[in-house]
Structure 1
Amino acid sequence: MSSKSSYLGLVNEVDGFPDAATHPEAFAERTSEYSRFMHLNYTVGYIIPIVLDALKDTELSGDWWDIQPGVVRLCGDTVEERTKNMDKTTRRWREAQRFEILSGWRDEIYTVYAPKGSPFFYMERSAHPLFGVLAYGSHMTVYVPATPTTPLRIWVPRRAAGKATYPGMLDNTVAGGMGNGAGPWECIIKEAGEEASLEESLVRAKAKPVGFVSYFYVRHKEAGGEAGLLQPEIEYCYDMAVEAPDSGGPTLKPCDGEVAVHILMDIDEVVANLKNGKFKPNCSAVLLDFFIRHGIITAENEPDYLEIYTRLHRRLEFPTR
């Protein structure tokens, strides 16, 4: 039986890095293999050995990086200097084809934060997992509420077959990474139009912020690029209730080529696809959070309820926005 066949198995899939608070010995053993990416006395990421080896390259030593046993620091006294040094590093690797993950270069900038929400530096999105730094996204579940004759249904997109990451897998209705300084609400507005052809006025009127999920993902090959790269994330979550298409509600359809089709699935179909591993891992986390908030997963029907809930809202050890 697949480890994904239970709700807790789905959580284990997306939150696969030991938690220092609950499993200190496993955390210490795992992190002993890595270098801490530090700013002052704060850990902003973890660097695995293959990335450390690349940083130790003689062409990258000196003014760009300070590498000590177990600790790596990005040089530069200002945000601009640190951003420049990171950019020179990742572009050098891209030109040398050092890492497969950089073949998906997006020219989209993510922010890495220092304490109190101030920017530490900015970097290319595709290079983020090489440094194990915290990323952010926004995900929205668009659903048709249950009626006396129909169950609750969720609009589920299938990712385009040509996507570099998780091609052909199922996704959350609307989802996107928070790049270029955008906040979670702006991200949802943008992605709703691009991925689902939803009118901005409708989203602004009906979408509701409902919290977040957080986890520490260890990337698999399906994610694109090298397996084993580290990807801690916070996903801001939104719900949007709409009428069924035959009652005047919207029919979601792709717009930007990243989605192949949108399917209106009932809960049983969504659950079956979740447990068969058909959803992108972090999208499973968002759906499980939706299930808990809507009373589909409860303490009465799920023996792992408490662990599922707490693991979906993991306290991460990094400075946040």
Structure 2
Amino acid sequence: MAAKTNLQLVQECDNFPYYEDDSEFYERRLGNYHAFKVNGCTAVLGYIPNTVVEKFHWIENDWTIDSATRTVTLMAAPDAAPAVRNEIMSRLLADAVRRETFEVLKGWRAEMYPIYAPGGEFLMEMERCASPLFGIITYGVHMTGYVEDEKEGLKLWVARRSKTKQTFPNMLDNTAAGGMSTGEHPYGCAIREAAEEASIPANVFEERARPVGVLTYFYVRDARAGGETGLLQPEIEYIYDIRLDAKHAVNPCDSEVEDFRLWTVDQVRQSLKEGEWKPNCAVVIIDFLIRHGILTPENEPDYLEIVARMHRRLPFPTVKFDLK
């Protein structure tokens, strides 16, 4: 297999088409989806594949399906409280679980992901594993632990995902990462994930970690993601670096991580070329290499497109968070 370039790795994660590249192709591709909307909110909140629309047993009065405009609308009253919308969504998903309609719902997490209207208004929430069925924006945190070694230079703590993990099994991962549930703040989520996945105590994180930016991309799921392919996953990831000393041991703390290894930059870059990384984690690592002056416009011919593709403007409403 030919070595993957950094641009190819970014394109593998940000792989929904761009209107600007080919408007006709983009419009044809968009014809494969229904827009997900909520009554009383004019914004499109996500894209649902037509095949998914056909498989759901939509509950009358709860939903309106308009095949002419390819729109699915949750029909709570325009001024309904989020809890009312949540109940409508819960009924639909519970029915799909009972019927075993979708493979992706077999990964039920009992974690809720938020959905926002323009301006950051909280509209509703839904079960995490169902979010790709509706193509909503999801939020997460990724952190990279690193050591400044006197002899070998910069070294990164790299995680190997569990062989039995439902999504992207046995692929390489950042030091710690996770999705933000309803009501979570990026910093609090990062502290929790660092402890749960990498045994990094809260006091070490608070002392050593620093917020370094936000990455956005629009991912079309493939077989490695588990469940149905072609589901959409637009994401916003808040990024943290954690500078650790050799005395700070990074160890698995749950069943999601097989092991950790402390790799040199050359080892990390070789594993990127070999396609060993989970797609969005590869993007986080490329961002790390850029911010630390390892990938530059002088040594990376695709530098400009790489940076742009890692900060994509998403077509759905978003909410703002402070990083700390």
Q: Could you tell me the TM-score, scaled by structure 2's length?
A: 0.93
Q: What whole-Å deviation, never above 9, does each CA across 1:243-302 have from its counterpart, x for those lacking one?
A: 2x2xxx311001121111110010111111111111111101111111111111110011
Alignment of 1:50-65 (within 5 A): 50-55=51-56, 57=57, 60-65=58-63
Question: Contact 2:59–2:92 at 8 Å: present in 1 too?
Answer: no
Amino acid at match of 1:34: Y
8 A contact 2:10–2:283 mirrored in 1: yes
Corresponding residue for residue 44 of structure 1: 45
Please state if 1:94 is matched with 2:92.
Answer: no
Q: How many residues align?
A: 312
Taking a change above 3 Å as real, the CA distance of residues 22 and 185 of structure 1, as seen in their structure-2 partners, is farther
Distance 1:35 1:48 in 2: 6
Partner amino acid, structure 2, of 1:35:
H
Distance 1:276 1:172 in 2: 16
2:240 matched to which residue of 1?
A: 238
Task: Quote the RMSD (CA, aligned, Å).
Answer: 1.3
* Structure 2 unaligned regions, length at least 5: 320-324
* 1:29 paired residue number: 28
Deviation of 1:71 (Å):
1.1
Tell me the secondary structure at the aligned position of residue 5 of structure 1: coil
Give deviations 1:26-76, integer Å, cap 9, x for gaps. Answer: 321210221111243211100101211023x3xx23222111121111121
> Where do 1:262-281 residues align within 5 Å?
262-281=260-279
Task: Give the Å deviation of 1:23.
Answer: 4.1
Corresponding residue of 2:162: 160
2:47 partner amino acid: Y
Q: Give the counterpart letter for 2:72 in structure 1.
A: V
1:253 aligns with 2:255: no
1:36 touches 1:47 (CA, 8 Å); kept in 2?
yes
| Identical-residue share of aligned pairs (%) | 45
Instruction: For residues 66-119 of structure 1, give each alpha carbon's deviation from its aligned partner in whole angstroms, at most 9, with x where no partner exists.
Output: 111211111212211111111111111111110000000010111011111111
Take 2:126 and 2:37, find their aligned partners in 1: how far apart are those partners?
16
1:20 and 2:30 matched: no
Inter-partner Cα distance in structure 2 for 1:207 and 1:63: 49
Assess if the C-alpha contact under 8 Å between 1:211 and 1:237 holds in 2.
yes
Secondary structure of residue in 2 paired with 1:279: coil
SS in 2 for 1:36: strand
Corresponding position of 1:131: 134
Aligned to 2:74: 74
Deviations 1:207-234 (A, max 9, x none): 1001111000000111110111110001
Counterpart of 1:204 in structure 2 is: 206
TM-score, normalization by structure 1: 0.94
> Does the residue aligned with 2:172 lie in a helix, a strand or coil?
coil
Distance 2:52 2:84 in 1: 21
For 2:249, what is the secondary structure of its paired residue?
A: coil
What does residue 322 of structure 2 align with?
none
1:242 Cα deviation (Å)? 1.3
Q: What amino acid is aligned across from residue 317 of structure 1 in structure 2?
A: P
**Structure 1, unaligned stretches of length 5 or more?**
none
8 A Cα contact 2:252 2:259, kept in partner: yes
Amino acid at match of 1:120: L
Pick aligned residue for 1:116 from 119, 142, 150: 119
> Offset of 1:25 from its aligned partner?
2.9
* Counterparts of residues 302-317 of structure 1 (less than 5 Å): 302-317=300-315
